[in-house]
Amino acid sequence: MNVKLSFEAKSPFRIGAGKSTSLTSPVDLQVLRININGREVQYIPGSSLKGVFRSVSEFIAKSNGINACMAGNECKDNYNRKLDDALRSRNLDEVRKILASYCLICKLYGSGSYASHIIFGDMFPEGDIAIGVKTGIAIDRRSGTAKRGALYTVEFIMPGSIFKGNITLINTPNYAIGLLSYVIKLINDGVIRIGGFKSRGFGQFSVNPMEINGEIIHNNKVMKISEVDIFEPLDEFDSEVNIADVGRNYAKLLERFRIAWDNYVSKIKHS
């Protein structure tokens, strides 16, 4: 399942490239850029988005009483070596047993030997991007006064800038899509921000699904999403999702999957 998303900046934002070492740079802290066909382009790395979505997914899961390890560390320490050993020995029963032991978040976002089921592409700008520069001064935490020689300039991207890209979901149950939809809702509500300088009001976005396509299993056949009315459950904790009346309203389509997440939480609590 491929979801094309539009990220529109509602406030200034920056994903930094670190302190500039170029003698010709007019600012100390530049925004991140990538070279495409000889042109420097501002972008939002998929890895940055994955970090945001993963950490928020962990928070949502834990707040609902669902087991989720922090940044995949617990699952990595407990299971990755065992999984590698089982794979090398081709012990499929042991592989299945170990895979089932990973927490939900690691199953979705990956953990070392466990590949991610959600792939975040880089987000690239739509049209020209307006860049702003802000002057700041570092504060000494002990004295509460300005540090000597600590004046710096920061580059940021102006509100109204739009970035577009794709998130790909591979064999994800409906409740996982619902969890992703809840993360998008929190971003749209302004609860979650992206990038640096969040405490200074940076990083607020509006996220809109522009297109959803791909193939799923329906009635034991591989079918295009545009050809089906129902997303069938993939496991015992999953729920059917009816999308018959949503048409091309992709925001409403994603919203439908939140019910599957709510049902998943209820089933886990009572299992």
- Mean pLDDT for the chain overall: 88
Residue 158 is which amino acid?
Answer: M
CA-based radius of gyration for the chain:
21
Residue 31 to residue 14: CA distance in whole angstroms: 6
pLDDT of 163 strictly over 70:
yes
What values do phi and psi take at 10, rounded to 5?
-100, -10
Domain regions of the chain by residue span = 2-68+103-269
pLDDT score of 240:
96
pLDDT of 178 strictly over 60:
yes
Cβ partners under 8 Å of residue 144, min gap 6: none
Least confident of 19-28, 57-66, 98-107, 145-154: 19-28
- Structure confidence by residue, pLDDT tens digits, 44-90: 999 999 999 999 999 999 999 998 887 767 887 888 788 888 888 88
Residue 27 to residue 190: CA distance in whole angstroms: 29
Cα–chain center distance at 178: 13
- pLDDT, greater one: 146 or 216: 216
pLDDT score of 147:
60
Within a 13 Å sphere around the CA of 263, how many CA atoms are in the beta-carbon half? 19
From residue 232, give the alpha-carbon distance in Å to each of 118, 160, 177, 228, 250: 19, 38, 13, 10, 18
- pLDDT, greater one: 189 or 219: 189
pLDDT score of 141:
60
- pLDDT, greater one: 24 or 198: 198
Average pLDDT over residues 177-204: 95
Position 28 confidence tier, pLDDT thresholds 50, 70, 90? confident
What values do phi and psi take at 182, rounded to 5?
-65, -35
Q: Give the residue from 105, 112, 101, 99 showing the smallest Cα distance to 58.
A: 105
pLDDT of 145 strictly over 60:
no
Residue 264 to residue 266: CA distance in whole angstroms: 5
pLDDT score of 136:
66
Residue 38 to residue 209: CA distance in whole angstroms: 30
pLDDT score of 139:
60
Least confident of 1-10, 103-112, 188-197, 234-243: 103-112
Distance between the two ends of the chain, CA-based, in angstroms? 29
Residue 253 to residue 181: CA distance in whole angstroms: 10
pLDDT score of 72:
65
